[in-house]
């Protein structure tokens, strides 16, 4: 039963990453502007991040949907989503109202506590996947039997 739940989470989160990355590809200038709106990163890092992040999200999405490198992909997703949640929370606390840019240039969701909660939820999904992925369970069982 838990394996089916984890599979459903893995595929759902994978498609979320595919959508987020796919909608940003080809819109690096718009995405860079959205990243800059958070006023967190040096300008030197913004353009490379705007170019690279969509392709990383696509890669993670493919890995999650196909079940390849599941633990790596899930931990990467968890780290990314927690960084996004913290960035949005930081903007909200500093009174910065900007588009999060999460789903490309047509995403007009503004920094808000519901956006923080959404990304925290995605972080939790990713942690559950990383922790309970079938490959992880098999490895845990193998390690337990070796220590007995």
Q: What stretches of the chain show up as alpha helix (H) in DSSP?
A: 2-24, 28-36, 43-66, 70-93, 113-132, 134-147
Q: What pLDDT, on a 0 to 100 scale, did the predictor assign at position 135?
A: 58
Nearest to 103 by CA among 10, 45, 11, 16: 16
Q: What pLDDT, on a 0 to 100 scale, did the predictor assign at position 140?
A: 45
Sign of CA dihedral 48, 51, 52, 53: positive
With 0-12 / 13-18 / 19 or more C-beta atoms within 10 angstroms meaning exposed / middle / buried, residue 116 is: buried
Q: pTM for this one?
A: 0.85
Q: What pLDDT, on a 0 to 100 scale, did the predictor assign at position 128?
A: 96
pLDDT in tens, the chain (148 residues): 778 899 999 999 999 999 999 999 999 999 999 999 999 999 999 999 999 999 999 999 999 999 999 999 999 999 999 999 999 999 999 999 998 888 988 888 899 999 999 999 999 999 999 998 865 444 444 545 555 5
Q: What pLDDT, on a 0 to 100 scale, did the predictor assign at position 102?
A: 87
Q: How far is the C-alpha of 40 from the C-alpha of 94, rounded, in Å?
A: 11
Q: What is the DSSP letter of 99?
A: B
- φ, ψ of residue 93 to 5 degrees: the values are -65, -30
């Amino acid at each position: 039963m838990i394996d089916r739940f984890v599979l459903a989470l893995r595929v759902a989160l994978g498609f979320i990453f595919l959508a987020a990355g796919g909608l940003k590809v080809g819109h690096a200038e718009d995405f860079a502007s959205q990243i800059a709106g958070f006023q967190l990163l040096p300008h030197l890092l913004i353009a490379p991040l705007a170019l690279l992040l969509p392709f990383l999200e696509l890669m993670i999405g493919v890995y999650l949907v196909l079940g390849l490198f599941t633990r790596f992909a899930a931990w990467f997703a968890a780290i990314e989503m927690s960084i996004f949640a913290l960035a949005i929370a930081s903007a909200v606390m500093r009174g910065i109202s900007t588009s999060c840019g999460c789903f490309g240039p047509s995403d007009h969701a503004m920094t808000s506590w519901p956006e923080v909660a959404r990304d925290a939820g995605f972080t939790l999904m990713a942690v559950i996947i990383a922790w309970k992925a079938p490959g992880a369970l098999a490895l845990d069982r193998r390690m337990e039997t070796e220590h007995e």
